[in-house]
Structure formats: structure tokens, C-alpha cells
Amino acid sequence: MNSNFQHNQSAHCESGVASNLLKHHGLNLSEPLVFGIGSGLFFGHMPFLKVNGIPATTYRIFPGLIFARLCKRLGIEMTKQTYRSESKAMDHLDKILEQGMPVGLLTSVYYLPYLPEALRFHFNAHNIVVFGKQNGKYLVSDPIMETITEIDREDLQRARFAKGALAPNGRMYYPTFVPKEVDLKKPIVESIKKTAVDMTTIPVPLFGIRGQRYLAKRVAQYPIKMDKRKAALFLGNIVRMQEEIGTGGAGFRFIFAAYLQEASTILNQPWLHDISKEVTETGDRWRDFAYDAARICKDRAVTGENYQKLSEMMLECANREEIIFNKLKKISLT
């Protein structure tokens, strides 16, 4: 057992795992700093990428990019690997654990038996830390759990090699060099500017603010172009991606708001603190959208007016975020 590893519960799996791994190596970064410096906030609606037959919606950048961007900006060296052989992947994990090195793993939520059954569905981009073995079981620090837990070899292997969209292919990663001290000012400015630019300038109408408006228009058309059941399924998936998958749209906004508060202090730029309040208010509005959408799905009270209201709420969020990120694009070190 690696007794030196400290488990900390977090809001989001990738930023939580990154924060816990870096703290283990002596670099104490909060989850908001990890998420923010990794430029984690994003939006995309991708009709070409299906999850359980329904177009995917994301409120964050694609899995793995938060940690990758964080490492690049802070000079952290990372080893990461995927596998074809399931047995070799498990043997390599054992070898690294024997060296006392905690590792990050990409897994499927569905095959993690320690999670409550209500949370176990087919989503293949959940990050966990495995930091040792005890009585033949792997010791797991799962960011969404209050305490450490454990899993046997067969279940962990199944979770690492689940099939379907975003198949993890046994992905394992761990830091090999972590600076003890870093100057956060330049990475913070770079990361905020990157997030702001991505949200406002990508010309493809599926991403950023354009993506939000694109999806809002489609939501208004759901009860017109689909039967009641299908419309509810499509709407329900937007809510699931917002509120259950990796923290969700509102949750990511709250983490980003906390990041702006920390950035305001580090950069000595009080205006960032003011914008953090605007981000929090927008997160509240995204949560209102999720609440109303879930109620429609549950009651099956599908009418054009209900979906039109949801479309207008999403457009309001898009308008709010366009103003926020156009302000943030102007950030500089001075």
C-alpha cells in the first residue's frame, strides 16, 4: 500500500486526478487552477459523434487535453500509454505501482462496481488514480468519491478496455518530472486567452458560442421533427452531459469562476474577480435550463412552447458567455 498518497475529493475527474497526482509530487495546485490553466472550459455539439445513438454535447474540452495543456504550460513531463494487450496493460500497471508511483487511468464508469448503480452508465472517459494494492485488490482514489476505495483486477481490466465511443484502450499516465515551484502568471494569462478565443472565434458552428446557438435552434425543433419519446431522449442526453458527465456545464462554469478568483489574486487584477461573478451567474442559468429540461423529460409534457422556452434559455446563456469571453480575450500580464 502506498500510504503517502493523499486522496482529495473533487468536482471533476480529470482536473481532480491531475491535482492529486501533482500534489503527490510536491506541486500544490488547486483543482480550479488545474482546470483553468488547462483551458478546460469549452462547448461543443457534434451530430457526427453519437453516444448511445444520440449526438454528443460537451461543456468542456476533449478528454486528456486539460492535463496535456497544464503540463505544457508548467513544464511538467508526463508518461502516457495505451495498449492493445489487456494483460500487458495490467502487468505494466503492477510494475509501476511496485515502484511506489500512483498512476492515472482512463476508465468506463459502467464497469466500476464501487460506484452507486445510478451513476453507472456507458461513459468511457472517467479518470481515476490507482496508487497501490492491498489483499489482491487495487487501491483507488476516485475524485467523485469521499474516501478511497478498491477494485479487483478483473473489474479494473474491464473498465480500462470498455468498447464504444471514446474507448480508453487501457490508457495510463503519470508524471515523470514535476517542478517544485512554478511562476503561474504567464500560464494563467495564456490559458484564459485560449479559452476566450476558443469560445468566441472558432468558425465551425458546432463549437463555442456558435455551437450553443446552433444547439438552441435544434432544441426548438425537437418536438416538430421528432416524436415525443425521441425528443425527450435527445433533450435528456443534453442534460446528462451537462449535469452528470464530468461535472457538467454548470459545474464547469463554477470551477472556472473559482479559477478567475484565484487568478485575480495571483495577477493582482481585480476585474477578474468581477467577471468570476458573471460566470457564476451564467452557471446558475445553465442549471435552471437543466432543471426545466429534466422536468419536461420526466413529465413527458412535450409541447413546442416548452422546448421553445429551453431554446431561449440556452440562447441567453450564449449571449452572456459571449460578453464574458470577449472581455477575457483582452487579458494581459499588465
pLDDT at 304: 58
Q: What pLDDT sits at residue 26?
A: 93
Measure CA 150 to chain center: 23
Cα–Cα dist 232/229, whole Å: 5
Q: What is the pLDDT of residue 1?
A: 47
Q: Is the CATH code 1.10.3470 the one for domain 185-328?
A: no
- Residues lower than pLDDT 70 in the chain: 1-3, 242-250, 300-305
What residue spans define the domains of the chain? 13-37+77-177, 185-328
What pLDDT is attached to residue 305?
64
**In sequence order, what are the residues at sequence separation of 6 or more whose Cβ sits closer than 8 angstroms to the Cβ of residue 273?**
260, 261, 264
Residue 259: C-alpha distances to residues 7, 9, 248, 254, 262 (Å): 21, 17, 16, 9, 5
pTM for the whole thing? 0.89
Find out if CATH 2.40.30.10 is the number for domain 13-37+77-177.
no
> So what's the pLDDT on residue 246?
46
